[in-house]
């Protein structure tokens, strides 16, 4: 008896990605054990063709981006990766080559981040491709980093550089000039989940999250969870050379940097005394961190100040899908 | 500061469904512990508007069907439900009423099956609505039911009745006359995950799975996992009164019953000596089971015999999305 095309597709492209517990993706579910003494951390994110990635993005980077935005959620909790499940609802007529490239990218990142696929589902749609991934990780009890817990007086930090993803999308759309290095487009297509940093700061920060929908809007979530306000200094926000070059040429792009999203950097708060330990942790993790402001008394609001201490008014604070 | 529409939607419709560990759906991930001494069982299934459900199906049943097809995967492993994550990629312009009905259905089934939502994601698409759910369950070590393990000589059993879902789809499409009771359409829209039965037979059956893509095709998976063949007796396959009425009127519908899918009944194999214990387990679980054939020596193949011992030739064995 021959297998239908759906099973052949899974066997050819996805079964080689399966790891321990996945039962070769041939059973109804995966069965696994958590490492002794660890808690389960679990999150899910979806990506839609034309919404979260561009239809002509290379398939190799689309699978990796899907995995990385989910890994970034683990990083934000201070968790270490365990495995993932994925549902791929592919636009009818998606070429086999595309699926092969998508799986090849996943294979590369599975090695880079030491995890494997545990299960999932594959179907077809007359609409755009719709991908969903559930990430599993683990954390030691007492070492969970959550969004709640910041206090007035805490300093606000971010990892890496902000705005590259949003500007990278503009580069790929031809809305701003390309940077010779391709840095911005690469950052849009391949975010860097800050897993080592998340685990290193989990015991030091009072609250944390990853920046996915825009720095200002996401900082608003920390404010809401804490019942206080935040003030950030726009000139302190760390920019890559490529981003700084664009913003210097067109000051209006600063709003894209602060609200555009697709950063997947860590945003966290900590008491001022924690600064030396945070810097040491960042050094160990190999990820730069920068202090950009502080939490203050007041209702949930984010104030962005320019270099002269005057407020910057933003038309929108971040990204919404509706 | 106001929240974007996406967060308002989540707060209004999905946050009331959140349970312990979900951190109010307001964090980057859920954090939870497994009950002591249990293994994690995890699976994911997607449903696409117009593919897995009809665009005019009531939203209340769509959420429940999504949850139930995933619960059926837990049932097939002998596992008990723990929680779920869900990504809803909604067709642009989906009315708020639709989302409210979808969430209301989920709330009802959360109570019925004693589980809560742990996390997820919401986005919009220009295409049809695309739903993905990851189900978490637990099982005692040594009590896992898998697809592998059947042997020649084992008897083949199914739970409940077969073909109702496939015929229910035909009813809803106007391809066959409606049954007065609405039984078939209801079975298409609201499958019954056999959780109690799955846990009750896990120590008795040699192999098991749920029937989602068609009885014959799915039995082929048990054959492939076992390296043997199966013979089933078409007249033994249990039918509901409504299904029997349709098949009696049009014999060609028997093929839809055997290969149409959407059954979400359990299909399992066991040594003949296990029959009395299986019947007792089924009685305890409140789910009827029926013996429909046996595993035999040979390469992986499923032979379906009519009442006179002659083979029935089927144009296709089950459902594929590609």
Cross-sheet strand order for the sheet of B229-233: B207-211, B265-270, B155-159, B289-296, B229-233, B302-305
Residues A162, A300: one domain? yes
Q: What digits encode the pLDDT tens for the residues A24-74?
A: 888 889 999 999 899 999 999 999 999 999 999 999 999 999 999 999 999
Residues A213, A274: one domain? yes
**A184/A178 Cα distance (integer angstroms):** 8
**Binning pLDDT at 50, 70 and 90, where does residue B20 land?**
confident
A181 known member of a binding site: no
Closest CA to B50 of A89, A42, A280: A89
Chain B hits for A41, CB-CB cut-off 8 Å, are: 29-31
B250 touches chain A (CB under 8 A): no
Picking from A139, A168, A186, the residue at the C-terminal end of a domain is A139
More confident residue, B13 or B151: B151
Considering the domain boundaries, does residue A150 fall inside one?
no
Chain B nearest-CA distance from A276, in A, is 26
Exposure pattern of A86-111 as b/e (b: 16+ CB <10 Å)? bbbbbbeebeeebbebbbbbbbebbe
Considering the domain boundaries, does residue B314 fall inside one?
no
Q: What digits encode the pLDDT tens for the residues B249-276?
A: 999 999 999 999 999 999 999 999 999 9
Give residues 75 to 94 of B whose Cβ lies within 8 Å of A: 76-77, 79, 85-87, 89
Picking from A104, A139, A174, the residue at the C-terminal end of a domain is A139
Q: What are phi and psi of B215, to 5 degrees?
A: -55, -45
> CA distances (Å), B168 to each of A96, A124, B86, B194, in order?
34, 22, 26, 19
pLDDT over 70 percentage in chain B: 98
Chain B hits for A122, CB-CB cut-off 8 Å, are: 321
Q: What CATH number is given to the structural domain containing A44?
A: 3.30.1330.10
Considering the domain boundaries, does residue A81 fall inside one?
yes
**B55/B50 Cα distance (integer angstroms):** 6
Give residues 109 to 128 of A whose Cβ lies within 8 Å of B: 118-128
Whether B11 shows a pLDDT value over 90: the answer reads no
**B273/B40 Cα distance (integer angstroms):** 31
- Structure confidence at residue A322 (pLDDT): 54
The residue-averaged pLDDT of B200-204 equals: 95
Q: Tell me whether residues A123 and B51 touch, CB distance under 8 A.
A: yes
How many angstroms from the chain centroid is the CA of residue B250?
Answer: 27
- Structure confidence at residue B319 (pLDDT): 63
- Structure confidence at residue A319 (pLDDT): 63
Residues A298, A185: one domain? yes
Confirm if A133 and A71 have CB atoms less than 8 A apart: no
Chain A hits for B6, CB-CB cut-off 8 Å, are: 320-322
Whether B7 shows a pLDDT value over 80: the answer reads no
Q: Tell me whether residues A322 and B32 touch, CB distance under 8 A.
A: no
Considering the domain boundaries, does residue B148 fall inside one?
no
Q: Which two tokens stand for residue B144?
A: 């896992």
The residue-averaged pLDDT of B56-66 equals: 95
B132 touches chain A (CB under 8 A): yes
**B289/B268 Cα distance (integer angstroms):** 10
| H or E element that contains B243 | helix B241-249
C-alpha dihedral sign at A303, A307, A310, A311: negative
Domain assignment of residue B51, given as a range: 5-139
Residues A179, A277: one domain? yes
Residues A299, A163: one domain? yes
Chain A hits for B41, CB-CB cut-off 8 Å, are: 29-31
A120 known member of a binding site: yes
Adjacent-strand bridge partners of A31: B41
Q: Tell me whether residues B46 and A320 touch, CB distance under 8 A.
A: no
**B303/B310 Cα distance (integer angstroms):** 10
Q: What are phi and psi of B248, to 5 degrees?
A: -65, -35
More confident residue, B118 or A21: B118
Q: Tell me whether residues A136 and B45 touch, CB distance under 8 A.
A: no
Residues B131, B182: one domain? no
Chain A hits for B77, CB-CB cut-off 8 Å, are: 27-29, 31
> CA distances (Å), A263 to each of A158, A166, A169, B293, in order?
10, 7, 11, 57
Considering the domain boundaries, does residue A318 fall inside one?
no
Residues A22, A51: one domain? yes
Chain A nearest-CA distance from B166, in A, is 18
Contacts of A162 (CB under 8 A, 6+ apart): A211, A215, A237, A238, A239, A243, A257, A258, A263, A265
Q: What digits encode the pLDDT tens for the residues B207-238?
A: 999 999 999 999 999 999 999 999 999 999 99
A4 touches chain B (CB under 8 A): yes
Q: What CATH number is given to the structural domain containing B204?
A: 3.90.650.10
Confirm if A223 and A304 have CB atoms less than 8 A apart: no
Q: Tell me whether residues A5 and B46 touch, CB distance under 8 A.
A: no
HSE, CB side, 13 Å, CA atoms: give it for residue A239: 22
Considering the domain boundaries, does residue A313 fall inside one?
no
Confirm if B217 and B230 have CB atoms less than 8 A apart: no
Q: Tell me whether residues B302 and A44 touch, CB distance under 8 A.
A: no
Residues B128, B161: one domain? no
A164 known member of a binding site: no
**A163/A251 Cα distance (integer angstroms):** 13
Confirm if A85 and A30 have CB atoms less than 8 A apart: yes
Give the three-class secondary structure for B173.
coil
Dihedral (Cα; B242, B244, B247, B248), 10-degree rounding = -120
| H or E element that contains B246 | helix B241-249
Residues A96, A172: one domain? no
Burial of B315 (0-12, 13-18, 19+ CB in 10 A): exposed
Q: What digits encode the pLDDT tens for the residues A107-143?
A: 999 999 999 999 999 999 999 999 999 999 999 998 9
ipTM for this model: 0.92
Of B4, B23, B128, the CB nearest to A146: B23
Q: Which two tokens stand for residue B218?
A: 């799915």
B140 touches chain A (CB under 8 A): no
- Structure confidence at residue A3 (pLDDT): 58
- Structure confidence at residue B99 (pLDDT): 95
B301 touches chain A (CB under 8 A): yes
DSSP string of B137-155, one letter each residue:
EEE-TT----S----TT-E
Q: Tell me whether residues B302 and A50 touch, CB distance under 8 A.
A: no
B211 touches chain A (CB under 8 A): no
**A82/A20 Cα distance (integer angstroms):** 11
Considering the domain boundaries, does residue A322 fall inside one?
no
B23 touches chain A (CB under 8 A): yes
Q: What digits encode the pLDDT tens for the residues B123-160?
A: 999 999 999 999 999 999 989 999 999 999 999 999 99
**B98/B106 Cα distance (integer angstroms):** 13
Burial of A322 (0-12, 13-18, 19+ CB in 10 A): middle
Low-confidence stretches of chain A (pLDDT beneath 50): none
**A130/A142 Cα distance (integer angstroms):** 36
Inter-chain CB pairs, A–B, below 8 Å: 232
**A278/A23 Cα distance (integer angstroms):** 41
Chain A hits for B220, CB-CB cut-off 8 Å, are: 1
**B79/A273 Cα distance (integer angstroms):** 48
Chain B nearest-CA distance from A245, in A, is 30
Which ranges in B119-240 belong to alpha helices (H)? 164-172, 183-189, 195-201, 215-226
Considering the domain boundaries, does residue B145 fall inside one?
no
Residues A201, A256: one domain? yes
Residues A123, A170: one domain? no
Give the three-class secondary structure for B26.
coil
Residues A168, A130: one domain? no
Whether B97 shows a pLDDT value over 80: the answer reads yes
Please give the tally of structural domains in chain A.
Answer: 2
Confirm if B4 and A47 have CB atoms less than 8 A apart: no
B147 known member of a binding site: yes
**Binning pLDDT at 50, 70 and 90, where does residue B314 land?**
confident
C-alpha dihedral sign at A45, A48, A49, A52: negative
- Structure confidence at residue B321 (pLDDT): 55
- Structure confidence at residue A20 (pLDDT): 84
């Amino acid at each position: 008896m021959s297998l239908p095309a759906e099973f052949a597709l899974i066997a050819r492209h996805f079964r080689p990605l399966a790891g321990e517990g996945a039962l070769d993706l041939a059973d109804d579910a995966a069965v696994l054990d958590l490492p002794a003494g660890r808690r389960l951390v679990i999150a899910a994110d979806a990506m839609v063709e034309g919404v979260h990635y561009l239809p002509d993005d290379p398939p190799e980077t689309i699978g990796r981006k899907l995995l990385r935005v989910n890994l970034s959620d683990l990083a934000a909790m201070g968790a270490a990766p365990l495995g993932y499940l994925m549902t791929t609802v592919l636009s009818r007529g998606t070429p086999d080559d595309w699926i092969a490239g998508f799986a090849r990218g996943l294979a590369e990142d599975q090695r880079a981040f030491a995890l494997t696929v545990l299960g999932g589902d594959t179907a077809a749609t007359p609409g755009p491709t719709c991908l969903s991934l559930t990430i599993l990780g683990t954390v030691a009890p007492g070492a969970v980093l959550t969004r709640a817990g910041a206090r007035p007086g805490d300093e606000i930090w971010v990892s890496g550089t902000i705005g590259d993803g949003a500007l990278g999308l503009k580069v790929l759309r031809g809305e701003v000039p390309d940077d010779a290095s391709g840095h911005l487009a690469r950052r849009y297509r391949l975010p860097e989940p800050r897993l080592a940093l998340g685990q290193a700061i989990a015991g030091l920060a009072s609250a944390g999250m990853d920046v996915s929908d825009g720095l200002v809007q996401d900082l608003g979530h920390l404010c809401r969870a804490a019942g206080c306000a935040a003030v950030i200094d726009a000139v302190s926000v760390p920019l890559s050379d490529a981003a700084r070059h664009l913003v210097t040429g067109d000051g209006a792009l600063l709003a894209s940097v602060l609200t555009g999203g697709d950063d997947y950097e860590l945003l966290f708060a900590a008491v001022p005394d924690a600064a030396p330990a945070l810097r040491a942790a960042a050094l160990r993790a190999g990820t730069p961190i920068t202090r950009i402001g502080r939490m203050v008394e007041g209702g949930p609001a984010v104030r962005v100040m320019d270099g002269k201490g005057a407020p910057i008014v933003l038309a929108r604070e971040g990204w919404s899908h509706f």
